[in-house]
Structure formats: C-alpha cells, structure tokens
Amino acid sequence: MAEASDNSIRVDGIQLAYMAQVRARRIMNLILIVLFAALMFSGFATADARNAGGFWDGLGNVLDFPADVFGEAMERAHLLPGYLLKYLPSLLETVNIAGAATLLGAVMGLLLSLLATRGLAPFPWLITPVRRLLDILRAVPEIVIALVLIFLLGGGPVPAMIAIALHTTGALGKLLSEVNENASLKPVEGLESVGANWSQRMALGVLPQVAPNHLSYVLLRFEINIRASAILGFVGAGGIGYDLRNTMSWGQGKFDEAAAIFVLLFLTIVVVDQCSSALRNRLTHGTSPSKVTS
Amino acid sequence: MLRIEKLTKRFGVNTAVDAATLDIDKPAMIGIIGRSGAGKSTLLRMINRLADASEGRILFEGRDVTALRGAARRAWQSDCAMIFQQFNLVPRMDVVSNVLHGTLNRRSTLATVFNLYPTADIHRAIEILDRLGIAEHAPKRAEALSGGQQQRVAIARALMQDPRIILADEPIASLDPMNAQTVMEALRRIHDEDGRTVICNLHTLDTARRYCDRVVGMRDGRIVFDGLPAQLTTGVAREIYGAGADFSEAATSTEIDTLDASIRAARKGAAPVY
C-alpha cells in the first residue's frame, strides 16, 4: 500500500513539473504571437505612411493595368500566335543567359558549399571566410553588379550572365552547404578508411547522398534566374526584358505584345518546373519500377 | 466482433493479400506470423485503413469499415490504434506531446496545432507513461530515448486513443531481446488488464507462442494456419515459412532463454530439437 502511494506521489510530481513546463511554453507562444502581430501592423503602418499616394486610396486602381493588358490582348487575340513567334528569339536569349549563369554559379556554389560545411571542409579555418564571401555575393543586388559591368564592358548578355552567376554562387553556396550538413558522415568515413583523398570522398561519398536536393535547389535557382535575366533586360542586357520594357510603357498601345511576353515567360517557367520534377524523380527513385513490400 | 471477409490487396500484378478471411469473436491476443513479404503488414494496414482494400470487407461489430470515408474513416482509425516497427513518433517533440497525439481525432485542429491540450489529458498521458514504466522520461524529446523506450511511447500513444483494437506491426523487430520482452509483456498486460484485442505481426515463432492466445500463419498473401499456439508444430512452421528440413526455430529466435537452450544443446553435441 505504501509503495502504491509513493508511486502516486512520484507521478504527481512529474505531472506538476510537466504542467509548469507547458505553461511556460504557452506563455512564450502567446508573447511570440502578440509580437508577430504588432510587427506586422506597425510595419504596414510605417510603409503606408511613407507611401507617396497612400495605400488605401490607390487600392481601387490596382487592377487597372492588368485589366488594360487583358482587354487589349483579348481585342487582338488573333495576333497572339504571331507575337509568340516574334519574341521567341529574345526569350531564348534570356533563357540562355539564365542557363549559363546557373551552370557557372552552381559549379562555384557547390565547391564553396563544400568548403563552408563543418565536418566536410578540408581547411576548417577557411569556413568562416568562405561563408562571409558567400554573404557578400548574396548581399549585392545583381542589378547593381550588372549596371557596373555594363558600364565597363558595354551592354549585352555577358555582363548580365556574370552578374547573375555571382549572385547564384552566393545563394546556392549557402543552400547547398545546409544540405551537405545533413549528409551522413558514415559513407565518408568508409571511403576515408580505404585511403580516398578529399575530392574522392566528396564526389563519391557526399554527392550521391545530396544530389537530389542539390538538383532541386539548382533548378529552382534556374527559374529565379530566368526572371532575373528578364529584369536585367530593362537596364540594357538584352533579351526579352528589353522587349517587355518597350511594350509595357503606357500609351504605346502595345499591351497585347506585353501579354504575349507574359505568356511566354509563364510557359517557360512551367516547362522548367515540369522538367525539374521529372529529373528529380528519376534521381531519387531510379528508373526501375518501385518494389512492393508488405 | 471483428470479421475479415475475403480481403484482397493487389499492387499492380502482385497480390499482397489474397482473399484473407478471419473471424475474431471475443477480445484476444492474436499473433500473425509469416516470412517477410507474406502480406502481414498489408493486412494490418488495411484494417487500420492506411491502405485501401482491392476486394473484400472488414466488419467491426457489423459495421463495414472498408466503406468508411473522410471523418468516419478517421474516427475508425482512432478506435483502432496502430504500432509500427520503426515506432513512427515525431522525433523532435517531447514524449508527452507524442502520447497526446493519440487524442488528435477528438480535439479541434486549432487547439492541437498550438499544443493546447486539456490538463486532464496531459495528466492521463503521464499516468499511461507511468503504467509502461517510462514516466520519468516525460519531458524529453522522443529522439533522445532508446528503441525500447520509444516503442513504449508509441504504445502509450495507442492507449491514449482508448482504442477497441490495437494493431502492432512487427513491434519488436528493431529491438534487442531485453527490450523486446518488455514491449511484448506490456502488450500482453494491456490485453489482460483492459480486455482490448491486440493483433500483432511477429517474425519469431517463440514470441507468438509465448504471448498469444491464437496464432495466424500467412504465406504468399494467404492465411494458411489459424489455431492455438500449441498446434504450431515445427512441421506447421516449416509450411508457413516455406522452409526445408534444415529450418531451426532457434536460428530466428530473439528470446534469451532460447539462445541459452540452443547453446547448451550445441555444447552437448546435438542439434537443437523443437
């Protein structure tokens, strides 16, 4: 009997301690929610106060531009296939800039990511400098790099490509290094035990584990870069961005052509997305039909 | 109580479970044995409705469980707890939260997402953990526990559901012999004390014989044996596992006693006979 009451006292103690922990956690959550709401409202209020026109006054006009574009495009819908063909070469140029920049950035990003991952890096003292370098590459907007390079090298696709590749290196270097951190070190140790050097350990021990995740980040970056390279066209890097700027200006009556360019960009993103999921599935599951287990 | 009628599950051209028929008329502890790929897991997954049956019916107290959809299906799942080989806990959450997941079907989404469980439920969760002997681990993260402790947390989650049936899919296959014994004894105690039906997939004969009231043998998706543990002779076992004359029960055993016995037998210079 005494044993039973001892036990119930012990369980009561555990219950009390856990309830205290639960209450502390609930209070923390409440504080966080209140803080989040306060930040959101105050941030919005600040932005609205600094706004030139005022958010609430302008809200009604937000749909005017899409409505104009859509209206003109519908009016001259029969011209759309022609426009799609007309702007296809510019689109290819834009995709080309994005593709070259992504490849270059991915190769450099992969190398830097391995140098910046704790546990994998060959020179631990280099981890912090490499991470700061990646931070710098991410911090400078690609449009600034592009403008400087266009000034130095003249307008065209090459400055845009370099600018996007540098930003991609910074972004992918960080993301890929976070993926590398989750790789198991056991295969790496296995390869070390047979006398493999660092490059061999990375290429044969780490990459097979992380390849599917790396690929999905690189392909996502490719999508982002297509958009970035279209934007750089606005500042003289060529490609479809240049055409978009010309057709989008108000009062030219070229909104139907702008609509065609939007359609092209949308289709490109869809195609890249579809290809990337197909590729990723192949890489994660292989090509053989999945085995049935019971 | 629970009736399974010609239950079949096909994956493409493969038939995982082939017209399985089973009748459980009163609460019991039932062991299902068979080699891997025999369809044991698929059978349990269909009863819990994690997998849909291709053909056949599952009746619980006259109600067709296989036809349930949406909320009714989830309500059935909360009545029919499942325990997995790999525990299937949320590793980064604490033990009590994992046990409280057993109440998810009864509570509102908003309250559970913000971890707002009633105090009574939290107290009950800790009492269940105490019954399984792991109350002192209550505030730890599930991933910090050993395999045997994690499996007992999973059993506690099942008990928190207050289920009519407990399904256990190879609950001890990832555990060492000592932990395996603790977990099996816990399941047996739940059946003895609460009168809940426990259906347990096992891969060792001696475990099935020692803890179960009734043993079902499956081979290639079919139920080929259904009887008392005493009827489970070596000959029957050979048939279930499709093994030859060299089949020895001790070779698959996880029981410490069996291991001792087979070592003793080997020392005497004779092969273990069962």
Using CB atoms, pick whichever of B12, B38, B116 lies closest to residue A294: B38
Confidence of residue A78 (pLDDT cuts 50, 70, 90): confident
Residue of A nearest to B39 (CA): A294
- Does any domain span residue B173? yes
CATH of the domain at B251: 3.40.50.300
Mean pLDDT value across chain B: 88
Q: Give CA–CA dist B5/A86, Å, rounded.
A: 65
At A294 the pLDDT is 43
Our CA-based measurement puts residue B14 at a distance from the nearest CA of chain A, in whole angstroms, of 8
For residue B253, what pLDDT is reported?
Answer: 62
The whole-number average pLDDT for the span B75-99 is: 93
In a domain, B71, yes or no: yes
Residue B13 in domain: yes
CA–CA dist B49, A268 (Å, integer): 41
Residue A79 confidence class, pLDDT cut points 50, 70, 90: confident
- The A residues from 8 to 47 touching B (CB cutoff 8 Å) are 10-11, 14-15, 17-19, 21-22, 25-26, 29
The verdict on ipTM greater than 0.90 is no
Residue B193 in any domain: the answer is yes
**Tokens at B67, concatenated:** 């036809």
Map chain A to HEC letters. CHHHHHHHHHHHHHHHHHHHHHHHHHHHHHHHHHHHHHHHHHHHHHHHHHCCCCHHHHHHHCCHHHHHHHHHHHHCHHHHHHHHHHHHHHHHHHHHHHHHHHHHHHHHHHHHHHHCCCCCCCCHHHHHHHHHHHHHHHHCCHHHHHHHHHHHHCCCHHHHHHHHHHHHHHHHHHHHHHHHHCCCCHHHHHHHHCCCCHHHHHHHHHHHHHHHHHHHHHHHHHHHHHHHHHHHHHHCCCCHHHHHHHHHCCCCCCHHHHHHHHHHHHHHHHHHHHHHHHHHHHHHHCCCCCCCCC
In a domain, B180, yes or no: yes
Q: Would you state the pLDDT for residue B268? A: 55
The per-residue pLDDT for range A89-121, each reduced to its tens digit, is 888 999 999 999 999 999 999 999 999 999 899
What's the pLDDT score for residue B218? 93
Whether residue B83 lies inside any domain: the answer is yes
Confidence at residue A260, expressed as pLDDT on a 0 to 100 scale: 87
Strand partners, B227: B215
**Residue B119: pLDDT band with limits 50, 70, 90:** very high
Strands (E), B36-116: 55-60, 63-64, 80-83
Angle at B216 between CA B215 and CA B217, to 5 degrees: 120
Predicted confidence (pLDDT) per residue in B162-215, tens digit = 999 999 999 998 888 888 998 999 999 999 999 999 999 998 888 999 999 999
Asked whether B68 and B131 are in contact (CB, 8 A), the reply is: no
Q: Is A190 a residue whose pLDDT tops 60?
A: yes
Which of B7, B11, B41, B95 to probe the A interface (max A CBs under 10 A)? B11
| pLDDT at site A290 | 47
Domain count, chain B: 1
Q: Do A15 and B126 touch (CB under 8 A)?
A: yes
SS3 A79: helix
Tell me the whole-structure pTM to 2 decimals.
0.75
The pLDDT of A122-147, averaged and rounded, is: 92
Flag whether B272 is in a domain: no
Report the run of H or E that residue B241 belongs to, with start and end.
helix B234-241
The domain in which residue B87 lies consists of: 2-267
Domain assignment of residue B273, yes or no? no
Confidence at residue A157, expressed as pLDDT on a 0 to 100 scale: 86
Is the per-residue pLDDT at B152 higher than 90?
yes
Q: Which two tokens stand for residue B81?
A: 């707890």
